[in-house]
Structure 1
Amino acid sequence: MTPISTRVQVHRRKQVLVWKEAKLGPAAAEEPRSKSKICANVFCGAGRECAVTEKGEPTCLCIEQCKPHKRPVCGSNGKTYLNHCELHRDACLTGSKIQVDYDGHCKEKKSENPAASPVVCYQSDRDELRRRVIQWLEAEIIPDGWFSKGSNYSEVLDKYFKSFDNGDSRLDSTEFLKFVEQNETAVNITTYMDQETNKLLRGLCVDALIELSDENADWKLSFNEFLKCLSPSFNPPEKKCALEDETYEDGAETEVECNRCVCACGNWVCTAMTCEGKNEKVPGQRRHPEQDLTEEELARYVQELQKHQVSVELGTSAYTKSLLTRIPSVSATWRLPGR
Structure 2
Amino acid sequence: MRDCLVFMLVVLVLALSIQSSEAEKKTGGQKSNNDVPVNDVEKKSGKQNLPLVCYQVERDELRQLLVDWIKRRVVTEGRTYKATVNQMFLECDQDKNSVLDADEMLQCMEKEGTDVKDTDAHILRGLCIDALISTASVKHNWVLTKPELQHLLEPNFVAPSKECQLEDKKYRDGAETQVDCNVCVCACGDWVCTGAPCGKDKRNQGVPGPVHSGRLPTQEQRERFLRGFKAAKEVYVRAVQDQVANKQHSRDIAQQLDGLNKKDTPH
TM-score (norm. length: structure 2) = 0.55
Matched residue, 1:272: 195
From the two aligned structures, give the one with the greater helix fraction.
2
Unaligned runs of 5+ in 1: 1-111, 144-148, 189-193, 281-299, 306-339
Indicate the percent of aligned positions where both proteins have the same amino acid.
39
Alignment CA distance shift 1:140-1:183 (3 Å): farther
Query: 1:195: how far off?
Result: 7.3
Query: 1:227: how far off?
Result: 1.1
Matched residue, 2:234: none
Matched residue, 1:107: none
> Deviations for 1:18-61, whole angstroms, at most 9, x for unmatched residues?
xxxxxxxxxxxxxxxxxxxxxxxxxxxxxxxxxxxxxxxxxxxx
Output the amino acid matched with 2:88: Y
> Deviations for 1:180-216, whole angstroms, at most 9, x for unmatched residues?
21599xx89xxxxx97001111011010000010110
Query: 1:222: how far off?
Result: 0.2
Flag the structure with more relative contact order, 1 or 2, with Cα contacts below 8 A and sequence separation at least 6. Answer: 2
What's the RMSD between the two structures over aligned residues? Answer: 2.9
Q: Partners of 1:142 and 1:262 in 2: how far apart?
A: 41
Q: Partners of 1:120 and 1:138 in 2: how far apart?
A: 29
Q: Partners of 1:168 and 1:195 in 2: how far apart?
A: 26
Matched residue, 2:169: 246
Output the amino acid matched with 2:179: V
Matched residue, 2:249: none
Matched residue, 1:44: none
> Deviations for 1:207-243, whole angstroms, at most 9, x for unmatched residues?
0000010110111100111111121110111100000
Output the amino acid matched with 2:91: S
Alignment of 1:7-22 (within 5 A): none
Matched residue, 1:169: 98
Matched residue, 1:14: none
When Rg is computed on C-alpha atoms for both structures, the one with the higher figure is: 2
Q: Partners of 1:203 and 1:249 in 2: how far apart?
A: 22
Matched residue, 2:109: 180
Do residues 203 (structure 1) and 123 (structure 2) align? no
Q: Partners of 1:278 and 1:141 in 2: how far apart?
A: 61
Alignment of 1:178-327 (within 5 A): 178-182=107-111, 196-279=119-202
Alignment of 1:152-167 (within 5 A): 152-165=80-93, 166-167=95-96
Unaligned runs of 5+ in 2: 1-41, 210-267
2:164 and 2:190 in contact (8 A); partners too: yes
1:261 and 1:268 in contact (8 A); partners too: yes
TM-score (norm. length: structure 1) = 0.44
SS of 1:130's partner is: helix
Q: Partners of 1:226 and 1:180 in 2: how far apart?
A: 14
Q: Partners of 2:74 and 2:201 in 1: how far apart?
A: 57
Q: Partners of 1:223 and 1:179 in 2: how far apart?
A: 15
From the two aligned structures, give the one with the greater strand fraction.
1
